Amino acid sequence: DIQMTQSPSSLSASVGDRVTITCRASQGIRDRLAWYQQKPGKVPNLLIYGASTLQSGVPSRFSGSGTGTDFTLTISSLQADDVATYYCQKYDGAPLTFGGGTKLEIK
């Protein structure tokens, strides 16, 4: 099975910073990658699918890139509301594996 590895596992940044989270697949998954945001105590929310397509209603400061095995989620200007854990997920085929998550905090 393909493994999904996220880095870093935790991150502290200041409001206004540019933040980048990476996700690596152990084998190529084309662009079949999604990113989710889960705020504390809340349900996961789809941010990006197809590696780079922004889900409707998601702020434009979020962006995704990559194909094959290496992917990134970027927040162009961090806001206090972005405190959350972020997960990547492959969906090229079963199993629909999630990455281990990246916990983002405000410095």
Partner 1 sequence: EVQLLESGGGLIQPGGSLRLSCIASGFSFSNYGMSWVRQAPGKGLDWVSAVSGDGRTTYYPDSVKGRFTISRDNSKNTMYLQMNFLRAEDTALYYCARKYSATSGFDYWGQGTHVTVSS
- Pick between residue 80 and residue 94 the one whose CB is nearest to partner 1: 94
Residue 78 CA to residue 14 CA, distance in Å, equals 7
86 touches partner 1 by CB under 8 A:
no
Q: Which of residues 87-106 bind partner 1 (CB under 8 A)?
A: 87, 89, 91, 94-101
Instruction: Work out how close the CB of 16 gets to partner 1 at its nearest, in angstroms, rounded to a whole number.
Output: 28
37 touches partner 1 by CB under 8 A:
no
What type of residue is 49?
Y
DSSP 24-66: EESS--TT-EEEEEE-TTS--EEEEETTTEEPTT--TTEEEEE
Window of 11-19, 63-71, 72-80, 81-89 that interacts with partner 1 by CB under 8 A: 81-89
What type of residue is 79?
Q
36 touches partner 1 by CB under 8 A:
yes
Residue 63 CA to residue 53 CA, distance in Å, equals 8
Q: Which chain residues interact with partner 1 by CB under 8 A?
A: 1, 32, 34, 36, 38, 43-46, 49-50, 55, 85, 87, 89, 91, 94-101
